[in-house]
């Protein structure tokens, strides 16, 4: 028996993001549930979010984001041999979303699977994509985080409907081809704790998303900064060397609390939640693609990613901006 030839390092070639057109403001929500713009901004940090219409499916959003990343990477569909879609809101149990998205882009016969690690999903997918490339089982991977959370939210529950939103973000992962360049995707630090499974859940197909906000807030603000620091340590990048910190856009208060404890005062902290809401596995690549588009983080910059959420599950890694 023989093994495929391993590659020393991997990198992200490009990012892409897609959001539905419809903007839902806090004032709009205040018409139907007992809340205010001021309350939502102070507790969660969201000013508006994007919600997909009935005609825009999860696969539509995933394909749109994937298409942008693929175009920006300079590769063609024929170069992609694995497609991973991180999602916890797939509309069908089978078929998966990944194969559908691949076919829409003319990617012929790739490995294709969905991955569910909820809001940590993108970081999990990025890690598994990177490992597949390193092990030599794939060469170029299209990684997508996509969610249509609006379908699973009780729009009369003011504690959850103000938070969650729809969108997709994507990355193309491949081998490091420049022999002078170091790796562009650092080692992942990941984990989970099923003992806290009930803290964020969609219990069955007929249920809405429920969340114990205070318990999740306590966990996120106390357990995650060591995970983030460990990812920096394994990558050999000191937190003070980070150009940016892009955590899952769960809640601005959680983001700020983790950032304070990270010890990276110079790092730009992603705050995409303000206008995107919490889009679970889509939030990190969405935030990243926008920061790159706006020129806030340049090529070669070290950025720390941290996904966390239901499961509970979490994952962090340092990457270099393409």
Partner 1 sequence: MTMNEAEILTGLGEIIDEVAGVPADQVTPDKSFVDDLDIDSLSMVEIAVAAQDKFGVEIPDDQLKNLKTVQDVIDYVRKTGVSA
Binding flag, residue 41, partner 1 (CB under 8 A): no
In the complex, what is the shortest distance from the CB of residue 253 to partner 1, in angstroms, rounded to a whole number? 5
Binding flag, residue 257, partner 1 (CB under 8 A): yes
Question: Distance between CA 131 and CA 173 in Å, rounded?
Answer: 10
Is 248 a residue of the active site?
yes
Catalytic one among 26, 96, 251, 278?
Answer: 278
CA dist 260 → 177, 213, 224, 267, 320 (Å): 36, 20, 12, 11, 22
Q: Which of 25, 36, 42, 207 binds partner 1 (CB under 8 A)?
A: 42
Catalytic one among 96, 123, 248, 251?
Answer: 248
219-238 residues near partner 1, rule: CB under 8 A: 221-222
Residues contacting partner 1: total by CB under 8 A: 11
Two structure tokens written together for 160:
């959850």
Catalytic one among 119, 123, 161, 232?
Answer: 119
Binding flag, residue 36, partner 1 (CB under 8 A): no
191-210 residues near partner 1, rule: CB under 8 A: none
Is 275 a residue of the active site?
no
Cα of 136 vs its chain's centroid, Å? 24
Taking Cα atoms as reference points, which of 193, 52, 214, 168 lies closest to residue 117? 193
Question: Distance between CA 216 and CA 202 in Å, rounded?
Answer: 15
Region of 23-31, 59-67, 198-206, 214-222 interacting with partner 1 (CB under 8 A): 214-222
Q: Which of 36, 38, 181, 218 binds partner 1 (CB under 8 A)?
A: 218
DSSP letters, 222-241, are: HHHHHHHHHHHHHHT--GGG
Two structure tokens written together for 42:
């102070």
91-65-166 Cα angle (round to 5): 50
Q: Tell me if 316 sits within 8 A of 189, measured CB to CB.
A: yes
In the complex, what is the shortest distance from the CB of residue 211 to partner 1, in angstroms, rounded to a whole number? 13
- Annotated active-site positions, please? 119, 248, 278
Q: Which residues bind partner 1 (CB under 8 A)?
A: 42-43, 213-215, 217-218, 221-222, 253, 257
């Amino acid at each position: 028996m023989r093994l495929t030839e391993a590659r020393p390092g991997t990198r992200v070639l490009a990012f892409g993001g897609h959001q539905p057109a419809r903007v839902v403001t806090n004032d709009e929500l205040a018409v139907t549930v007992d809340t205010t713009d001021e309350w939502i901004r102070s507790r969660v940090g969201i000013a508006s979010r994007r919600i997909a219409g009935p005609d825009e499916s999860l696969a539509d959003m995933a394909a749109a984001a994937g298409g942008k990343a693929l175009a920006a990477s300079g590769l063609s569909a024929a170069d992609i041999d694995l497609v991973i879609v991180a999602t916890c809101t797939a509309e069908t149990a089978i078929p998966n979303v990944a194969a559908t998205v691949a076919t829409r882009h003319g990617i012929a016969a790739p490995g294709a699977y969905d991955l569910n690690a909820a809001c940590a999903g993108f970081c999990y997918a990025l890690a598994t994509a990177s490992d597949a490339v390193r092990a030599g089982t794939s060469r170029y991977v299209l990684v997508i985080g996509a969610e249509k959370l609006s379908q699973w939210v009780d729009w009369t529950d003011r504690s959850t409907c103000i938070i969650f939103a729809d969108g997709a973000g994507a990355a193309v992962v491949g081998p490091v081809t420049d022999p002078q360049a170091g790796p562009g995707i650092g080692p992942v630090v990941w984990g989970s704790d099923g003992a806290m499974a009930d803290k964020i859940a969609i219990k069955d197909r007929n249920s809405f998303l429920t969340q114990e906000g205070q318990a999740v807030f306590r966990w996120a603000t106390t357990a995650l900064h060591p995970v983030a620091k460990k990812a920096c340590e394994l990558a050999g990048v000191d937190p003070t060397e980070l150009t940016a910190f892009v955590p899952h856009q769960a809640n601005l208060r959680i983001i700020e609390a983790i950032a304070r404890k990270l010890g990276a005062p110079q790092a730009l902290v992603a705050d995409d939640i303000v206008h995107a809401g919490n889009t679970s596995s889509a939030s990190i690549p969405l935030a990243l693609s926008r920061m790159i588009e706006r020129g806030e983080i340049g090529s070669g910059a070290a950025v720390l990613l941290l996904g966390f959420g239901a499961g509970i599950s979490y994952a962090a890694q340092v990457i270099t901006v393409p």
